[in-house]
Structures are given as C-alpha cells and as structure tokens.
C-alpha cells in the first residue's frame, strides 16, 4: 500500500494512475478479506468436530403433497432420529429419555451439516439415508441444561473380525452370513467405542484367512490392524444354536480392558438375524459401559454398589437360562445371586452400580423391565 501511494503521488500518467489505483484497490480487498477470514474463522482444531457428533446411516421415508415438501419433512425427522442416536451414544438411554423434551426446531439449531448418502424421490414421497453432523458446543449446552451426564472422550478404535460357524462346522470369514451382517449394520464407527468392520474385499481376503485365525497367526491379524488404523483386533465368533438363537463369543485385550464373552442369545422375533443383532448390540453396550467406567473412575468401590431382590417368573428352564444369561451381561450389573427357585420362577438378588435408574435403562436395552407388583420388583421381558 505504501508503494502504491508513493507512485501515485509522483505524478504518473493518468493511465498508469488508473491501473495502479485498480491494483491498490484489489490488494486492499485481498488484505481486508484475509483479515476478515482470520478474525472470523475459528481455529482449524475447533472446526474439526469429533466424529462422535456425526451420525450416519439415518434412514427416512416421508410423504407429503409433493416431493419437495416430503424432503423437508424427511430432514426434520432425520434430525430428531439422529439426535436420539447421539444422546444414546453420549449418555445411554437415560440421556435419551431426559432430552426428549427438545423440539425439532431446537434440535435443528444444534445441527452443523447434513449430507445425503442415498435418496429416492417420487410423487409426494422422499426416501433417503442421511448423515447428520451436530455442533458439539450446542449439544453440550443442551445436555447440561437438562442435567444429563455424559462422556465425550472416545475409545481408540477396535477392529472386529466376525467369524461365523455354520451348523455343519464350516467357518465363514468373508462370505455373507447373519453374523457379519449384524456387525455391519451396527454402524459403530463413530460411537463412544468405535468399532470397525473389515470391508471383506480382495485385500482382506489375501491378508487373512480362516485358517490364520484358527492357527492364531498374529502377523496376519497385525496386518489387518494396521490396514484399518485400529488400536486392537477382536475376533467375534457366532454360531447357530437353533432357528432363533445363537452362541456368541469374543475374547482378547482392548482399549476398554480385557474382553471375555461367551453367551447364548435368543431372539423373540427375526430368527437368527434377530439373535445376531441382539448379541452384537449387547456386546457393544458392555464395551461402552467398560469404557465409560474407566473414564469416570477405574474401579467401583463396595460402597457404591447397591442390591435389590427381584422376582423372575419363567415358563421353562430354557427361558430361565436365557434371562439369567441376559441379566449377567447387563451393563452395571456386577453380580446375580439366586436366592430361591421353583418350577415357574426364581428370586434373584441383583447387585448393581450407578444407581437404580441406570439399571432400569440398561435392562431396557436388553428388552427387559422391572415392574413393581405388590411391593416386589418383577422382571419381565418385552
């Protein structure tokens, strides 16, 4: 700018004066633009919101008088659905329930961006799959306003390799099967405990085979870990027990601690697919609970534990075994002690942490609820 003033003040020719004037004005606008950008734009780190606040795969199907209005309706519905997913991710079912008071317009003001993964339109209809990104500061403020406690620190990502053992003993790794599908549909790559599922492409097939897993080929598993940038690798085994139940097992070290599961899951509907989805969701719930506990306190002292006697009615020994198994892996439950048992029910002393409200929420995630009947808490599935 100083050079411009000097040359202009030297009495240059009119044409040169005009050119220099235009150049100086242009330079001034550039400088002002840079200053404005530097002053208004937040630091790069602040712009890069945690993936924790990104909810992908939100499916919507809306109908209205025309396609344009149907899309607007779908976006509003997607915001509400995504917000529910986010709250469950940050603080569990309790957070989701407490924050249900927020209106669609309030939720909309917390949204940072929206992108379309898939969409189809028709006369008065919009079908899509969307990704919604929320503004962390506004979400935090909203949750604090309703007294919701939450954990934001994500666990390092874990690579989960699903192995399916068929009824005839054949083990499937990269082929389509109910077990692999359930893990893919969990969509937990942005969760509090991010889970990555291999693509099952040619590179994966060349890197790892079923035989490698059976033989414990650590170098192959390490290659898979490095490929996906995970902190740890867990192999998850699934095998059918009957048409609507499966046995699921997972063992190994992870960022949330030592993992050791070996449970049978029974689906009330959906057959093997339903049982697989149930098992996968339960596994992830326990992983999140372990991670959350490690962030809020690495251990739970005896003084923080509570106990309650509950009645567990059942119609068969098989049903009892399923319910007892579900109780034992429910988040916050530390001990299940059978006080008495008859042919159609049992009285169980349940020891738990983090409060009765949290216990009820965790049980609901396992499709069970505690109902007070005549002064006795009764456990029943739903």
Whether residue 119 sits in one domain with residue 188? no
Residues facing residue 327 across a β-bridge: none
Whether residue 107 sits in one domain with residue 30? no
Whether residue 84 sits in one domain with residue 8? no
Comparison of pLDDT for 365 and 212, the residue scoring more: 212
List the CATH number of the domain containing 208: 3.40.50
**Predicted local confidence at residue 273, as pLDDT:** 92
- Sign of torsion, CA 202 206 208 214? positive
Whether residue 141 sits in one domain with residue 81? yes
**Predicted local confidence at residue 258, as pLDDT:** 86
* Domain stop point among 274, 296, 318: 296
Q: 93 with 365: CB under 8 angstroms?
A: yes
Where does the pLDDT of residue 263 fall: very low under 50, low under 70, confident under 90, or very high at 90 and above? confident
Comparison of pLDDT for 70 and 29, the residue scoring more: 70
Whether residue 306 sits in one domain with residue 275? no
Tokens linked to 269: 């509907």
Read off the DSSP letter of residue 100. Answer: G
Q: What are 297-313's pLDDT values in tens digits?
A: 434 444 457 888 999 99
Total domains in the chain come to: 4
pLDDT over 50 (residue 7) = no
Whether residue 133 sits in one domain with residue 234? no
Q: In whole angstroms, what is the distance from residue 145 CA to residue 148 CA? A: 8
Q: 163 with 172: CB under 8 angstroms?
A: yes
**Predicted local confidence at residue 80, as pLDDT:** 92
* Domain stop point among 296, 324, 341: 296
Q: Which helix (H) or strand (E) holds 265?
A: strand 257-266
Residues facing residue 18 across a β-bridge: none
CB atoms < 10 A from the CB of 167, how many? 9
**Predicted local confidence at residue 304, as pLDDT:** 56
Whether residue 136 sits in one domain with residue 58? yes
List the CATH number of the domain containing 90: 3.30.1660
DSSP per-residue string spanning 37-70: HHHHSPPHHHHS--GGGEEEEEEEEEE-SSHHHH
Whether residue 285 sits in one domain with residue 181? yes
Q: In whole angstroms, what is the distance from residue 9 CA to residue 21 CA? A: 11
In a domain, 270, yes or no: yes
Q: In whole angstroms, what is the distance from residue 175 CA to residue 177 CA? A: 6
In a domain, 150, yes or no: no
Q: From residue 138, give the alpha-carbon distance in Å to each of 109, 134, 147, 253.
A: 8, 8, 14, 35
Tokens linked to 172: 């499937």
Comparison of pLDDT for 207 and 262, the residue scoring more: 207
Whether residue 280 sits in one domain with residue 239? yes
pLDDT over 70 (residue 379) = yes
pLDDT over 90 (residue 157) = yes
In a domain, 109, yes or no: yes
Whether residue 368 sits in one domain with residue 315? yes
pLDDT over 50 (residue 61) = yes
What is the average per-residue pLDDT within 149-178? 91
Q: In whole angstroms, what is the distance from residue 90 CA to residue 150 CA? A: 5
pLDDT over 50 (residue 19) = no
List the CATH number of the domain containing 345: 3.30.70
Whether residue 290 sits in one domain with residue 306? no
CB atoms < 10 A from the CB of 310, how many? 19
* Domain stop point among 243, 264, 296: 296
Percentage of the chain surpassing pLDDT 70? 84
What is the average per-residue pLDDT within 150-162? 90
In a domain, 176, yes or no: yes
DSSP per-residue string spanning 201-252: -HHHHHH--HHHHHTT-HHHHHHHHHHHT-SEEEEEEEEEEETTEEEEEEEE
In a domain, 151, yes or no: no
**Predicted local confidence at residue 265, as pLDDT:** 87
Where does the pLDDT of residue 116 fall: very low under 50, low under 70, confident under 90, or very high at 90 and above? very high
Full residue range of the structural domain in which residue 73 is found: 49-145
Cα diameter, the chain: 109
Of 99, 77, 277, nearest in space to 188 by CA:
277
Where does the pLDDT of residue 266 fall: very low under 50, low under 70, confident under 90, or very high at 90 and above? confident
Q: In whole angstroms, what is the distance from residue 35 CA to residue 29 CA? A: 10
Whether residue 331 sits in one domain with residue 370? yes
pLDDT over 50 (residue 32) = no
Q: 220 with 207: CB under 8 angstroms?
A: yes
């Amino acid at each position: 700018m100083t050079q411009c003033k000097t040359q202009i003040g030297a009495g240059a020719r009119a044409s040169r004066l005009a050119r220099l004037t235009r150049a100086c004005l242009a330079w001034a606008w550039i400088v002002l633009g840079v200053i404005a950008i530097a002053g208004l734009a937040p630091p790069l780190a602040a712009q890069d919101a945690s993936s924790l606040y990104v909810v992908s795969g939100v499916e919507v199907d809306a109908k209205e008088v025309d396609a344009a209005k149907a899309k607007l309706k779908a976006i509003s519905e997607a915001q509400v659905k995504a917000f529910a997913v986010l709250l469950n991710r940050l603080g569990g079912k309790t957070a989701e329930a407490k924050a249900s008071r927020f209106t669609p317009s309030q939720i909309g003001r917390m949204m940072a961006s929206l992108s379309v993964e898939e969409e189809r339109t028709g006369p008065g209809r919009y079908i899509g799959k969307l990704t919604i990104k929320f503004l962390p500061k506004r979400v935090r403020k909203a949750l604090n306003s309703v007294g919701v406690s939450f954990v934001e620190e994500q666990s390092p990502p874990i690579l989960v390799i699903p192995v399916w053992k068929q009824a005839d003993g054949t083990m499937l790794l990269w082929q389509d099967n109910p077990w692999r599908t359930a893990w893919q549909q969990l969509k937990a790559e942005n969760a509090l405990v991010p889970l990555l599922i291999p693509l099952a492409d040619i590179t994966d097939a060349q890197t790892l085979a079923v035989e490698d897993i059976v033989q414990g080929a650590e170098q192959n598993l390490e290659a898979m870990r490095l490929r996906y940038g995970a902190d740890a690798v867990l192999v998850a085994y699934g095998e059918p027990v009957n048409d609507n139940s499966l046995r699921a097992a997972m063992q190994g070290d992870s960022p949330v601690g030592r993992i050791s599961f070996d449970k049978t899951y029974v689906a009330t509907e959906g057959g093997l697919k339903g049982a697989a989805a149930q098992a996968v969701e339960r596994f992830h719930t326990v992983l999140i609970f372990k991670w959350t506990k490690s962030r809020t306190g690495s251990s739970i002292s005896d003084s923080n534990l509570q106990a309650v006697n509950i009645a567990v009615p059942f119609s068969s020994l098989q049903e009892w075994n399923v319910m007892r198994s579900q109780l034992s892996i429910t988040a916050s439950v530390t001990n299940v002690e059978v006080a008495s048992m008859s042919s159609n029910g049992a009285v169980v002393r349940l020891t738990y942490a983090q409060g009765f409200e949290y216990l009820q929420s965790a049980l609901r995630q396992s499709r069970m609820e505690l109902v007070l009947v005549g002064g006795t808490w009764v456990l029943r599935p739903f």
